[in-house]
Amino acid sequence: MAKIVTFISGKGGSGKSTVLVGIANELALAGNRVLLVDTDTGANCLDTITGVGEGIIYNWGDIFNDTCEIADAIYPSLSIENLFILPAPKDYKKTFSTTILKDLLRLIAANFDFIFIDAPAGLGQNLTLSLEPANEAVLVVNDDTFSLKVGKKAAEIAESMGKSTTLIINAFRTFAVKNGMLPSVDEAMDITEIGLLGIVPFEANLNFNASQGIPYTRNTRATDAFARIARRLQGEKVDLPSQWQ
């Protein structure tokens, strides 16, 4: 039975989709069956990053409108085995209740080890829709104070729905923290009041965009961080590298 995790951020641009796909890639490369569910219609990122974009015909809205069967809307990644994507409809604001995804994902959870839901930016009803099916939530922030503050509000919504939430600090820049320009890990945890799942360093060339033929390349500092987080999500205890302790 899949563990269903919703990745939230509150504020757009914190790297939520990049981090979600990176961790999913590592889980899939380790042999887990992973389904990515897009609820971030505007940004429409997951299909691009995973390279499925061109071939998409159906999305989860079509399943509910009876335009297709469930299996028709689940697309395998073109670049990574065991990784699948369920795209979002172009616009679902007025059409669906907040519990529809929960009903659908409960039906198919037995076919996967992990289901990752990419929440939309913002704190409204679509965030609730994306959180409803989850067993737990992961808040992805970058290390600026605004991202931390808005992220905290998203996490409060998740916690109010009974979803325990952990924190990933993304695009972390040690020199900026040392110069006092950005919050430290401790300060980020104090502001958000959430326990840490992982830290992903800033990496200027972090770009794996299968649609543009740029493959996921392992053994960089950022992808090593994705791999550590993937192991933690599988229940392993993996220490933070010493520079962050």
Applying CB under 6 A, the residues found at the interface with ligand ADP are: 9, 12-18, 43, 45, 170-171, 200, 202-203, 206-207, 222
Q: Are 107 and 70 in contact (CB under 8 A)?
A: yes
43 binds Mg ion (CB under 5 A): yes
* Residue 45 Cβ vs ligand ADP, minimum distance, rounded to whole Å: 5
* Residue 140 Cβ vs ligand ADP, minimum distance, rounded to whole Å: 7
* Residue 7 Cβ vs ligand ADP, minimum distance, rounded to whole Å: 8
Residue 83 binding: pick among ligand ADP, Mg ion, none (C-beta 5-8 Å cut-off by kind): none
Residues 6+ apart with CB under 8 A from 25: 80, 83, 208, 216, 226
* Residue 43 Cβ vs ligand ADP, minimum distance, rounded to whole Å: 6
Q: Which of 6, 17, 165, 192 binds Mg ion (CB under 5 A)?
A: 17
With CB atoms as reference, the residue minimizing the distance to ligand ADP is 15
DSSP 88-126: PPS--TTT--TTHHHHHHHHHGGG-SEEEEEPPSSSSHH
Residue 170 binding: pick among Mg ion, ligand ADP, none (C-beta 5-8 Å cut-off by kind): ligand ADP
- Of the candidates 32, 15, 12, the residue with the CA atom closest to the CA atom of residue 225: 15
Report how far residue 17's alpha carbon sits from residue 243's, in angstroms, rounded to the nearest whole number. Answer: 25
Q: Are 8 and 137 in contact (CB under 8 A)?
A: yes
* Residue 113 Cβ vs ligand ADP, minimum distance, rounded to whole Å: 23
Among the listed ranges 40-48, 153-161, 184-192, 236-244, the one in contact with Mg ion (CB under 5 A) is 40-48
Residue 224 binding: pick among Mg ion, ligand ADP, none (C-beta 5-8 Å cut-off by kind): none
122 binds Mg ion (CB under 5 A): no
* Residue 50 Cβ vs Mg ion, minimum distance, rounded to whole Å: 13
139 binds Mg ion (CB under 5 A): no
3-state secondary structure of 153: helix
Q: Which DSSP symbol is given to 216?
A: -
Q: Are 8 and 37 in contact (CB under 8 A)?
A: no
State phi, psi for 64 to the nearest 5 degrees: -75, -25
CA atoms within 13 A on the CB side of 4: 22
85 binds Mg ion (CB under 5 A): no
Residues forming contacts to Mg ion in the complex (CB under 5 A) are 17, 43, 45
